[in-house]
C-alpha cells in the first residue's frame, strides 16, 4: 500500500495504531520473534500449506506476494499449482473456492480489498453459506476461507476503506472473524482455515505494517466464537474488533486518568458471537459501548446493543452507546471526521457514566 | 475520405448477394455463419444491417438473422429442398457433413454433421492487428485509413505531450507526499488521445481509470485535474474520492469508480438511452485486460448485443493487471475474439499507433450510430509505468521488458516521427510546448494546494438528494465534537 503521507499523517496520529496481544498470552508463548501483521498472516498461510497437502492459496496477484505482501514466498515454496493468481473476477474466486472446498480441500481465497468483495456476494451468501444446510449436510464447503483486507488506512477513500462485516453477519452459515494484532491474526487465521465452516477473515489493513508483536513461530490456533477480555474494568464495558481496538484502548487509558475503569472486550468472532462474555461483563459494569468503523446504521454494533438490552435490561444504567462510522460513504478528505476517534469514544464513556 | 482497399472485404460484401458461391468459398475457411445463413430461404430486411459498400466488415461477421429468424415450430429436423446452391454444396462437403439437414431449434438453424469433432480451443490463426504506422512512424503504404489533417494531428500530439507531462509531474507530486495517490497512463497515450479524437463531446464516456487523456481532449483543464488530485473545494467530486477519480458532467465523462468493470454494463444502459432518444451519439467505455475477466464484462457484451445498443467497448490490453500477466488472465486469442461469441462486431488494433486507433474508433463510431450496434475494440499496448504509486512493477516483470516498450515501442515518439516527417513539428515547438505545460502544471499545483478543502458540510450532502434526518443528527453531533476537540481535525477543512 502507498507510503503514508507527511501532510496527512499528523492527523492519522490522532488514531495511533498497533495493538498488542495481552500479556497473559505472552507468558504462554515465549518462542516468537517480533513480526508485523502481514508477516504473521504469511506464517499462518505457510503453516496451512505445510500441514495440509490439500490446502490452496489463490486470488488476484497472490503469486508475487499479493498487494499487501501476505503471500510472499509461498508460490516459490509450495509451487504454483497450490499458490496461484486467478483472473480478475471475485465471483470466480469465491465460486472456485466453494467447489474446491466441497471436494475436501482447504480453499484459502484472497479478495484483494474488502471493498471488492461485492461481485462475490451471491457466491458467498447464496452458495457458501447454504451449501451444508440445503443439502441436508450431504455437501459442505467448510474448507473455504476468504481473507480480505478491510478498513480505513488514512487515504483510501470510498473503495479502499470499507468495513463490510455487517453484511456477512446477517448470513447464517458463515463465520466472520477479525483479528486485532499479529499474534491474534496467526492463531485465528489457522483456526478459520481448519474450521469446518466457510469463514470470512477480515484483516485490518492499517495494521499490516504498523502492528508488530512477538508471534510464536510454531503452529497454534486461537478459538473461534470466543471473545477475549483484553482489559479488565468495573465501570463500563467496551466491545470492538480489529483495528478499532487500539483506538478504544487509548480511550480506556485516558478514561482511567479520570478515574473511570473500563473493561475492553475483543469480540474476535462476529458470528457466531460470544454473547456470554459480553453479557457477563455488562452485568458487572452496568454499561456498554460498542465501536466500529462501519456506518452506525445497521452495523454489527446494533445487533450487540439489541442482544445486550435483551439480556441485561435490568442491569443497564444507561443506554448502550455506539461510536461508529457515520452514515455516509467512506469519504477521503473527511476521513478524520468520519472516524470513531478516541475522543468521540472518551466523550461517550463519560456521557454514559453521567447518564 | 475513407479508402477501404482490402480486397477480401469487397469479396465478402459481394458474397452477401451472390450466395450461390458462398457455400463453396466458405467451406474452404471452415464452417462459418455465413454458410448457415444461406439455408434460410428468406430475405431479411431488418433495421440496422445496412452493409454499405464502405463498411469494413470482414466475412466472419455474423448476420444477426442467422440466430433471430426461423424460430418456427420448436425442435425439428428438416431436410431442405435441393437448390442449385445446394447441389454445389453437395459437391464440396465431405461425407461427414450432412449438409442437407439442419437442426431447427428456437435459437435458429444449425447444420448437422455425423462427424464427432470438437472445435479447437485455438483458432488456426490469431486475429490480426490493424495498424497504419510502423514502429518507425512510417505510413504503411497498403493501409486503409482516413487522412488526418495537420490541425488534428497537432492537437493529438500536443494532447499526448500534455498527458505525459501531467503524469510525470503528478507522479512526482505523489512521491513528495503532496497528493496521496497517483496512476499514470504511460505507454497508453495513443489509445487515450486518438480514441478521444474520434468522438464528439456528445458521445458519453464511461472510463475505467487509465483514460484521463479522453477528458483532457474534451477540454478538462490542467487546473481541474489538479484540483481533483488535491481534493480541494474546486474538485467536482468534493474531495470525497482518491486522486485520479475524475468526472465531468459538462464533458459527458462519468466519474471514475475504483471497482473494476462496473462501468461496462452501465455503458450499455447509457447507450440504450441514447438509442431511445434517437441521438446522433454513442457511448464509449474503456477497460483493461484484467477488467475483461469480471462478470460485468460478459454481462455488458451480451446486453449490448441483445439490446442493439450503440456502445463502443475499448479494451486497453496492456499485458498486465497489476502483477498478473495476460497468460494468467485468459487463454484465448485476447479480448477481440469474445466479440463474435456474443454477436458483437470487433476489431484488434495496434494501441501504440495513434492513426490506427483513430481510424478504427472513427469507423466503429460510425457503425455504432448508423447501425445501432455495439462494437468491441481491443487495443494492444503495454503499461510502461507501475500499476500505480502503490506498486513496484520490477518485482514481477523484467526491467528490460519495460524498457523495450518504453523506448522502442513508445506510442508518442512513433506519432511524433510521423508528424515531424510531415514537416508539421519542430524541436522548438516541442521544447516550447513541454516547458509551457510544465509551467502551467506547477502553477496549477500551487493554486490547488493553497485552495481550501471542501467544507465539512460537503461530507453529508449527496448521500441522498436531500440529507436524511440521521445525517442531520450526525452532523450536529460531529460539530459539537469538533468544538470540544479541535486538534483532532485537520485545520484545512473549513468547519
Ligand atoms: C472489483 C475489483 N477487484 C479488484 C480491484 C483491484 N484492482 C485495481 S486495478 C486492478 C487491475 C486492473 O487491470 P486491468 O483491467 O488490466 O487495467 P490496467 O490497470 O492494466 O489498466 C485490480 C485487480 C478493483 N479495483 N476492483
Ligand atoms: Mg491491464
How confident is the model over A92-125, as pLDDT tens digits?
999 999 999 999 999 999 999 999 999 999 999 9
- State the Cα–Cα distance between residues A235 and A263, nearest whole angstrom: 8
Q: Is the same domain home to A172 and A318?
A: no
Q: Is the same domain home to A61 and A127?
A: yes
Q: Is A274 helix (H, G, I), strand (E, B) or coil?
A: coil
pLDDT on residue B100: 75
Q: Is the same domain home to A48 and A87?
A: yes
Q: Is the same domain home to A200 and A232?
A: no
Q: Is the same domain home to A185 and A309?
A: no
Ligand nearest to the CA of B387: 1
Domains held by chain A: number: 2
Q: Is the same domain home to A272 and A140?
A: no
Of B371, B197, B344, B361, nearest to B275 by C-alpha is B371
Per-residue pLDDT of chain B (495 residues; tens, 9 = 90+): 333 333 344 434 443 433 333 333 333 333 333 333 334 434 443 333 333 344 556 544 444 333 333 333 333 444 344 444 444 444 444 555 556 799 999 999 999 999 999 999 999 999 999 999 999 999 998 888 888 999 999 999 999 999 999 999 999 999 999 999 999 999 999 999 999 999 999 999 999 999 999 999 999 999 999 999 999 999 999 999 999 999 999 999 999 999 999 999 999 999 999 999 999 999 999 999 999 999 999 999 999 999 999 999 999 999 999 999 999 999 999 999 999 999 999 999 999 999 999 999 999 999 999 999 999 999 999 999 999 999 999 999 999 999 999 999 999 999 999 999 999 999 999 999 999 999 999 999 999 999 999 999 999 999 999 999 999 999 999 999 999 999 999 999 999
Q: For chain A, what is the total number of helices (H) and then of strands (E)?
A: 15, 14
For ligand 2, the distance from its centroid to the CA atom of residue B319, given in whole angstroms, is: 6
- State the Cα–Cα distance between residues A55 and A45, nearest whole angstrom: 9
Last residue of a domain, one of A215, A249, A272: A215
Residue in B177, B257, B293 nearest the CB of A87: B293
Q: Is B319 helix (H, G, I), strand (E, B) or coil?
A: coil
For ligand 1, whether the C-beta of B55 sits within 6 Å is no
Report angle CA B17, B18, B24 to the nearest 5 degrees: 130
Whether the per-residue pLDDT at A25 is higher than 60: the answer is no
ipTM of the complex: 0.93
Q: Is the peptide bond before A272 cis (omega within 30 degrees of 0)?
A: yes
For ligand 2, the distance from its centroid to the CA atom of residue A7, given in whole angstroms, is: 31
Secondary structure (DSSP) of A325-353? E-SS---STTHHHHS--HHHHHHHHHHHH
The B108-113 sheet, strands edge to edge: B76-79, B97-105, B108-113
Which residues on chain B are in Cβ contact (under 8 Å) with A333?
Answer: 231, 238-240, 453-454, 493
- Chain B CB within 8 Å of residue A155 CB: yes
Determine, for residues A61 and B323 on separate chains, whether the beta-carbon distance falls below 8 Å: yes
**End-to-end CA distance of chain A, in Å?**
43
**Substitution target from A62, A83, A87, A110 for chain B, most B beta carbons within 10 A:** A87
CA distance readout (Å), B272 to B199, B238, B269: 18, 30, 5
Determine, for residues B463 and A327 on separate chains, whether the beta-carbon distance falls below 8 Å: yes
Whether the per-residue pLDDT at A22 is higher than 60: the answer is no
Mean pLDDT of A67-77: 98
- State the Cα–Cα distance between residues B271 and B275, nearest whole angstrom: 6
Q: Is residue A201 part of a domain?
A: yes
Q: Is the same domain home to A69 and A165?
A: yes
- State the Cα–Cα distance between residues B236 and B462, nearest whole angstrom: 12
Q: Is the same domain home to A141 and A203?
A: yes
Indicate which residue's Cα is closest to atom 12 of ligand 1: B321
For ligand 2, the distance from its centroid to the CA atom of residue B291, given in whole angstroms, is: 8
- State the Cα–Cα distance between residues A224 and A292, nearest whole angstrom: 20
Residue in B258, B323, B390, B468 annotated catalytic: B258
Mean pLDDT of A250-274: 98
Q: Are strands A33-36 and A212-215 parallel, antiparallel or unpaired?
A: antiparallel
Work out the minimum CA distance from B212 to partner chain A, whole angstroms. 19
Q: Is residue A222 part of a domain?
A: no
pLDDT on residue A11: 38
- Catalytic status, residue A160: yes
Say how far residue A152 (Cα) sits from the centre of its chain. Answer: 12
Of B19, B36, B134, nearest to B88 by C-alpha is B19
- State the Cα–Cα distance between residues A61 and A23, nearest whole angstrom: 36
Which residues on chain B are in Cβ contact (under 8 Å) with A297?
Answer: 470
Q: Is A107 helix (H, G, I), strand (E, B) or coil?
A: strand
Q: Which domain holds residue A153?
A: 2-215
Residue A334 C-beta-side C-alpha neighbours within 13 Å: 30
Ion ligand 2: residue ranges with CB closer than 5 A: B 288-290, 318, 321
CB A230 within 8 A of CB A265: yes
Q: Which residues pair with A263 in a beta bridge?
A: A237
- State the Cα–Cα distance between residues A115 and B258, nearest whole angstrom: 9
Q: Is the same domain home to A175 and A237?
A: no
**Substitution target from A59, A89, A344 for chain B, most B beta carbons within 10 A:** A89
Q: Is residue A220 part of a domain?
A: no
Q: What is the CATH number of the domain that holds A348?
A: 3.40.50.920
Of A273, A67, A213, A253, nearest to A153 by C-alpha is A67
B362's grid cell: 472513427
Q: Is the same domain home to A137 and A255?
A: no
CB B320 within 8 A of CB B393: yes
Phi, then psi, of A59 in degrees rounded to 5: 155, -175
Of B95, B124, B104, B144, nearest to B32 by C-alpha is B124
Q: Is B170 helix (H, G, I), strand (E, B) or coil?
A: helix
Beta strands in chain A (DSSP E): 33-36, 55-59, 83-85, 106-110, 144-150, 175-177, 199-204, 212-215, 228-231, 236-240, 262-266, 269-271, 288-295, 321-325
Q: Is the same domain home to A93 and A26?
A: yes
B296's grid cell: 460485468
Whether the per-residue pLDDT at A179 is higher than 60: the answer is yes
pLDDT on residue B145: 83
Q: Is residue A221 part of a domain?
A: no
pLDDT on residue B58: 52
Q: What is the CATH number of the domain that holds A81?
A: 3.40.50.970
Q: Are strands B108-113 and B97-105 parallel, antiparallel or unpaired?
A: antiparallel
B203's grid cell: 458521445
Burial of B45 (0-12, 13-18, 19+ CB in 10 A): exposed
Residue in A60, A157, A343 nearest the CB of B241: A157
Determine, for residues B391 and A67 on separate chains, whether the beta-carbon distance falls below 8 Å: yes
CB B214 within 8 A of CB B256: no
Which residues on chain A are in Cβ contact (under 8 Å) with B180?
Answer: 2, 5, 8, 155, 332
Which helix (H) or strand (E) covers residue B469, if one does? helix B469-484
Residue B33 makes CB contacts below 8 A (sequence gap 6+) with B60, B62, B63, B66
Q: Which residues pair with B347 in a beta bridge?
A: B377
Residue A337 makes CB contacts below 8 A (sequence gap 6+) with A326, A331, B456, B459, B478, B482, B489, B493
Residue B373 makes CB contacts below 8 A (sequence gap 6+) with B48, B305, B308, B309, B310, B344, B345, B367
pLDDT on residue B142: 85
Q: Is the same domain home to A203 and A86?
A: yes
- State the Cα–Cα distance between residues B275 and B267, nearest whole angstrom: 12
Residue in B13, B189, B387, B440 annotated catalytic: B387
Amino acid at each position: 500500500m502507498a507510503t503514508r503521507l507527511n501532510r496527512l499523517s499528523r492527523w492519522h496520529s490522532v488514531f495511533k495504531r498497533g495493538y498488542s496481544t495481552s500479556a497473559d498470552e505472552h507468558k504462554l508463548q515465549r518462542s516468537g520473534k517480533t513480526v508485523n501483521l502481514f508477516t504473521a498472516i504469511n506464517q499462518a498461510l505457510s503453516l496451512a500449506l505445510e500441514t495440509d497437502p490439500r490446502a490452496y492459496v489463490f486470488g488476484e496477484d497472490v503469486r508475487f506476494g499479493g498487494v499487501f505482501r501476505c503471500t510472499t514466498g509461498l508460490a516459490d515454496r509450495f509451487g504454483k499449482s497450490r499458490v496461484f493468481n486467478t483472473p480478475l473476477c471475485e465471483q470466480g474466486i469465491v465460486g472456485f473456492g466453494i467447489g474446491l472446498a466441497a471436494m475436501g480441500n482447504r480453499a484459502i481465497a484472497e479478495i484483494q480489498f474488502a471493498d471488492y468483495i461485492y461481485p462475490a456476494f451471491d457466491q458467498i451468501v447464496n452458495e457458501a453459506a447454504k451449501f451444508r444446510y440445503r443439502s441436508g449436510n450431504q455437501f459442505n464447503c467448510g474448507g473455504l476461507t476468504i481473507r480480505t483486507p478491510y478498513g480505513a488506512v488514512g487515504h483510501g477513500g470510498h473503495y479502499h476503506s470499507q468495513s463490510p462485516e455487517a453484511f456477512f453477519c446477517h448470513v447464517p452459515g458463515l463465520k466472520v472473524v477479525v483479528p486485532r494484532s499479529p499474534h491474534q491474526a496467526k492463531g485465528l487465521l489457522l483456526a478459520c482455515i481448519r474450521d469446518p465452516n466457510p469463514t470470512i477473515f477480515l484483516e485490518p489493513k492499517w495494521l499490516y505494517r504498523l502492528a508488530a508483536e512477538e508471534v510464536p513461530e510454531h503452529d497454534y490456533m486461537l478459538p473461534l466464537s470466543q471473545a477475549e477480555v483484553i482489559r479488565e474494568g468495573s465501570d463500563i464495558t467496551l466491545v470492538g474488533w480489529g483495528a478499532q481496538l487500539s483506538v478504544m484502548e487509548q480511550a480506556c487509558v485516558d478514561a482511567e486518568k479520570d478515574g473511570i475503569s473500563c473493561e475492553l472486550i475483543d469480540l474476535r468472532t462476529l458470528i457466531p458471537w460470544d454473547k456470554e462474555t459480553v453479557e457477563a461483563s455488562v452485568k458487572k459494569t452496568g454499561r456498554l459501548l460498542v465501536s466500529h468503523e462501519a456506518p452506525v446504521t445497521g452495523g454489527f454494533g446494533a445487533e450487540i446493543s439489541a442482544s445486550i438490552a435483551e439480556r441485561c435490561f435490568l442491569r443497564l444504567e444507561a443506554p448502550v452507546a455506539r461510536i461508529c462510522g457515520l452514515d455516509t460513504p467512506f469519504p477521503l478528505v473527511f476521513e478524520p471526521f468520519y472516524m470513531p476517534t478516541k475522543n468521540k469514544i472518551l466523550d461517550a464513556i463519560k456521557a454514559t457514566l453521567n447518564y | 475520405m475513407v479508402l477501404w482497399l482490402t480486397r477480401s472485404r469487397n469479396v465478402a460484401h459481394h458474397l452477401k448477394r451472390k450466395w450461390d458461391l458462398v457455400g463453396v468459398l466458405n467451406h474452404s475457411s471452415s464452417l462459418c455463419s455465413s454458410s448457415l445463413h444461406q439455408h434460410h430461404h428468406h430475405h431479411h430486411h431488418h433495421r440496422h444491417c445496412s452493409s454499405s459498400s464502405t463498411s469494413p466488415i470482414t466475412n466472419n461477421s455474423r448476420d444477426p438473422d442467422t440466430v433471430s429468424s426461423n424460430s418456427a415450430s420448436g425442435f425439428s429436423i428438416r431436410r431442405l429442398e435441393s437448390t442449385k446452391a445446394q447441389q454445389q454444396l453437395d459437391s464440396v462437403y465431405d461425407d461427414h457433413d450432412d449438409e442437407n439437414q439442419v437442426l431447427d431449434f428456437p435459437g435458429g438453424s444449425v447444420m448437422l454433421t455425423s462427424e464427432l469433432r470438437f472445435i479447437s480451443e485455438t483458432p488456426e490463426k490469431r486475429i490480426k492487428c490493424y495498424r497504419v504506422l510502423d514502429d518507425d512512424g512510417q505510413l504503411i503504404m497498403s493501409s486503409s485509413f482516413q487522412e488526418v489533417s495537420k490541425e488534428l494531428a497537432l492537437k493529438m500530439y500536443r494532447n499526448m505531450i500534455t498527458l505525459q507531462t501531467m503524469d510525470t509531474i503528478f507522479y512526482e507530486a505523489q512521491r513528495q507526499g503532496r497528493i496521496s495517490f497517483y496512476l499514470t497512463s504511460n505507454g497508453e497515450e495513443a489509445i487515450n488521445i486518438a480514441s478521444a479524437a474520434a468522438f464528439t463531446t456528445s458521445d458519453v464516456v464511461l472510463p475505467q481509470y487509465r483514460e484521463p487523456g479522453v477528458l483532457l481532449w474534451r477540454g478538462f483543464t490542467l487546473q481541474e485535474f489538479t484540483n481533483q488530485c488535491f481534493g480541494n473545494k474546486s474538485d467536482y467530486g468534493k474531495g470525497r474520492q482518491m486522486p485520479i477519480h475524475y468526472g465531468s458532467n459538462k464533458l459527458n465523462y462519468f466519474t471514475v469508480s475504483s471497482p473494476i468493470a462496473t462501468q461496462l454494463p452501465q455503458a450499455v444502459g447509457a447507450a440504450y438511452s441514447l438509442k431511445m432518444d434517437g441521438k446522433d451519439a454513442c457511448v464509449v467505455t474503456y477497460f483493461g485486460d484484467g477488467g475483461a475477466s469480471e462478470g460485468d464484462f460478459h454481462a455488458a457484451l451480451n446486453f449490448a448485443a441483445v439490446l442493439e445498443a450503440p456502445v463502443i467497448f475499448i479494451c486497453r490490453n496492456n499485458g498486465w493487471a497489476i502483477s498478473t500477466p495476460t497468460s494468467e488472465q485468459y487463454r484465448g486469442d485476447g479480448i477481440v475474439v469474445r466479440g463474435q461469441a456474443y454477436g458483437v462486431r470487433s476489431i484488434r488494433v495496434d494501441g501504440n499507433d495513434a492513426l490506427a486507433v483513430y481510424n478504427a474508433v472513427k469507423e466503429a463510431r460510425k457503425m455504432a450510430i448508423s447501425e445501432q450496434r455495439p462494437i468491441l475494440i481491443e487495443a494492444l499496448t503495454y503499461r510502461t509505468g507501475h500499476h500505480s504509486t502503490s506498486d513496484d512493477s520490477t518485482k514481477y516483470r523484467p526491467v528490460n521488458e519495460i524498457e523495450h516498450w518504453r523506448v522502442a515501442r513508445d506510442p508518442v515518439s512513433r506519432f511524433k516521427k510521423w508528424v515531424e516527417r510531415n514537416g508539421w513539428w519542430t524541436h522548438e515547438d516541442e521544447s516550447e510546448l513541454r516547458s509551457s505545460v510544465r509551467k502551467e502544471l506547477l502553477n496549477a499545483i500551487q493554486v490547488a494546494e493553497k485552495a481550501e478543502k471542501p467544507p465539512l458540510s460537503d461530507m453529508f450532502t449527496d448521500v441522498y438528494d436531500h440529507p436524511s434526518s440521521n445525517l442531520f443528527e450526525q452532523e450536529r453531533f460531529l460539530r459539537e465534537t469538533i468544538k470540544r476537540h479541535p486538534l483532532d481535525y485537520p485545520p484545512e477543512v473549513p468547519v
